[in-house]
Chains A and B, each alone.
Chain A
Amino acid sequence: MKARHAIGIAVAFLCTAAPANAQVDFTGQWAPLYHEDTIERIPGPELGDYTGLPLSEAGRMRADSWDADRISVVQEYQCRPHSADYSLRGLAPLRIWADYDPATQRIVAFHTHIGAYENKRTIYLDGRPHPNDYAPHTFQGFSTGVWEGNMLTITTTHLKENYLRRNGVPRSSKATFTEHWVLHGNYLTITHIVYDPVILTEPLVRSESWFLDPGQRAGLFPCEYLPEVPAEAGTVPHYLPGTNPWLKEFAGWYALPFEAVRGGAETLYPEYRAKMGAYKPKDKCERFCNCTGFGDCLSPTGGR
């Protein structure tokens, strides 16, 4: 009888300790890995490099018009942060912590803090709806998550305009994105998919990984905007159509056909290689040679 009672208590305990839809604990300090898309992420993309992006004609034109002076001359851009979608790819020591429902001990929200711009997000898991169309948009958007087995799937809406790539390729405020968070031991991988009806003709799928680093500490990210160069008030640097002198530089450096670096859904798929003709890479690597990670790729010549 006593044994039967004890088994009953144990079963009850186990049921309570492992609720349905096992919730994975993503909390901790996560150090970023830059082996994916290294040059684009660190030190940053080349002007005119739209490779890998299913750009619409509108997206390409916006990017071609972009003048890097804008982030200096227009002081409102100086402290503009990475948005939630881009933030995953930036200089991103990541801290994750959770809120628990005291009555059930289930996670009802994750919070993230990313080093660049001290970006903070909340991902609600309590089933709340997204705000209505008149609610403000923010750079981090509004995020809700659901469990799909051990994977957390997150939907983010209400984003302010930001960028898909830091060379002028925009991401519109009509975009939304989905994330899939997966844990493999001490590694966290986030696959995120951006849907932008203005800038993209297909969803843009990218992924980033981190490793667990309990000793990591995300520092502060001070930013102060101020006039950096003399300019008439209201000046908006940009290139008129057909006048941007820098667009062909990237293709030239890597001996690529210009059309191949202009982005667009077609250029993403292997079949496009047939259209490129006989591509012959340069005999000797000249830029970002032997990049293996953050420290090796801080300049085009590969030095630290």
Chain B
Amino acid sequence: MRSWLLTLSIVSCGLVFVSAQGPATTGEITVLRVQKNVYLLASSTGNVAAQIGDDGVLLVDTGTATMAQKLFAAIRTLSNKPIHTIINTHLHADHTGGNQALVKLGAGGPQPPRVMGHENTYNRMLAAAVEANANTPAAALPMNAFFTPTRDFFLNDEAIVLHHVPAAHTDGDTLVHFRGSDVVAVGDVFTPDRYPVIDIANGGTVNGTIAALNRVLEITVPAKYQEGGTYVIPGHGRICDEAEVVEYRDMVTIVRDRVADLVKKGLTLDQVKAAKPSRDYDGDYGATSGSWTTDMFIEAVYRTINAK
């Protein structure tokens, strides 16, 4: 038990240059029904989506390693079925840290829970483990990886479609669309409580982030007067719908365009930061301290603005 926790900790050090708010050991989990089969299990360290049904429990992300027991207890308030599938939206440890523990805790079905993710996520997690010389158990990794633009399957009476959105938050981001429940879990490509984290070291870019947000908007269909319809579970923060993704996409696009204009005028990175091109949005999304500051966001936009 202690050894795998240690292993995961080592992997986490290699992968997570930003986690939500540092490791959480005492955080509480809030459970909210989103729509039909899909629930949000939210905590200060990040969001987990759970799809519940006769076939078993499907999880989108698994939170941090230290939250795994509490997360499993929260899942058990919704279903006593084994965990059937875990999907990792990307590689960061605040979304994958609970993989191994939940595979173990949620076993009991005809097959062990499968852990899915895009192959870029798998490759980067494996590479980080190798680099850290960690004896990472298979259950901690999304061994059931896919490399195509989409992958789909049917579980708990509904179709589930995985969409890979390249070079966004990372290069392995996956959107998980529950077609019957009309809910899409999008990981950290959309975080309504902060500027998008663009993890350059793991393949993230600003243009890919905007493209990913546009992909979310293609998937979502609003109900009457832009209210409800398809609900969106972000990687962190509250349940949203299309209207809020639009505002967020517009914000990222506008800030990107302003930075591009300043770059075109020949400004250096420091000069771009000094111009405060996001100052009208900082009150909504910005931070001057913590793991992802406004300056870090502007720098990430600056450095990836020409990336395709």
Binding site for B on A (CB under 8 A): 56-59, 61-62, 65, 70, 74, 76-77, 79-81, 117-119, 132-139, 160-161, 172-174, 197-199, 223, 233-234, 236, 238, 240-241
- B contact residues around A135 at 8 Å (CB): 32, 238-239
A267 to B40, CA, bound (A): 45
A–B Cβ pairs within 8 angstroms, 20 of them: A57-B280, A58-B279, A58-B282, A62-B281, A65-B254, A76-B222, A76-B243, A79-B225, A134-B30, A137-B244, A139-B226, A160-B243, A161-B243, A161-B244, A172-B284, A173-B192, A234-B214, A236-B249, A236-B253, A236-B257
Partner among A77, A79, A80, A238 whose Cβ is within 8 Å of the Cβ of B254: A238
- Least Cβ distance of B134 to chain A in Å? 33
- B contact residues around A81 at 8 Å (CB): 225-227
Q: Mark B181-225, 1 if CB is under 8 A from A, else 0.
A: 000000000001000000000000000001100100100001011
For residue B61, CB closer than 8 A to chain A, the reply is: no
- Least Cβ distance of A128 to chain B in Å? 16
- Least Cβ distance of A54 to chain B in Å? 14
Partner among A74, A76, A136, A174 whose Cβ is within 8 Å of the Cβ of B240: A136
For residue B246, CB closer than 8 A to chain A, the reply is: yes
- A contact residues around B131 at 8 Å (CB): none
Contact A234 B210 (CB under 8 A): yes
Binding site for A on B (CB under 8 A): 30, 32, 40, 42, 192, 210-211, 214, 217, 222, 224-228, 231, 237-244, 246-247, 249-250, 253-254, 257-258, 261, 277, 279-284
A61 to B251, CA, bound (A): 13
| Residue in B247, B257, B258 whose Cβ sees the most chain A Cβ within 10 Å | B247
Nearest opposing residue in chain B for A82, CB measure? B225
Interface of chain A, main secondary structure: loop
- B contact residues around A133 at 8 Å (CB): 238
Contact A240 B231 (CB under 8 A): no
Contacts A117-B225, A134-B30; is A74 near B246 (CB within 8 Å)? Answer: yes
- Least Cβ distance of A282 to chain B in Å? 33
- A contact residues around B246 at 8 Å (CB): 74, 76-77
A77 to B244, CA, bound (A): 11
Contact A136 B239 (CB under 8 A): yes
Nearest opposing residue in chain A for B30, CB measure? A134
Contact B257 A234 (CB under 8 A): no
- B contact residues around A199 at 8 Å (CB): 283
Partner among B210, B227, B249 whose Cβ is within 8 Å of the Cβ of A138: B227
- Going nearest first, the 7 A-B pairs with the smallest beta carbon separation are A198-B283, A61-B280, A58-B280, A76-B246, A236-B253, A81-B225, A134-B42
Nearest opposing residue in chain A for B253, CB measure? A236
Nearest opposing residue in chain B for A196, CB measure? B283
Partner among B211, B226, B238 whose Cβ is within 8 Å of the Cβ of A134: B238
A61 to B275, CA, bound (A): 13
A240 to B32, CA, bound (A): 40
A197 to B250, CA, bound (A): 21
Contact B284 A136 (CB under 8 A): no
- A contact residues around B283 at 8 Å (CB): 56, 58, 172, 174, 197-199
Contact B253 A234 (CB under 8 A): yes
- Least Cβ distance of B232 to chain A in Å? 9
- A contact residues around B225 at 8 Å (CB): 79-81, 117-119, 139, 223
Nearest opposing residue in chain B for A174, CB measure? B284
A10 to B225, CA, bound (A): 51
A138 to B284, CA, bound (A): 17
Contacts A161-B247, A234-B210, A241-B258; is A76 near B279 (CB within 8 Å)? Answer: no
- Least Cβ distance of A118 to chain B in Å? 7
A238 to B258, CA, bound (A): 10
Partner among A58, A79, A119, A240 whose Cβ is within 8 Å of the Cβ of B258: A240
Contact B226 A62 (CB under 8 A): no
Nearest opposing residue in chain A for B41, CB measure? A134
A81 to B224, CA, bound (A): 10
A183 to B257, CA, bound (A): 50
A19 to B210, CA, bound (A): 57
Contacts A198-B283, A238-B257; is A136 near B249 (CB within 8 Å)? Answer: no
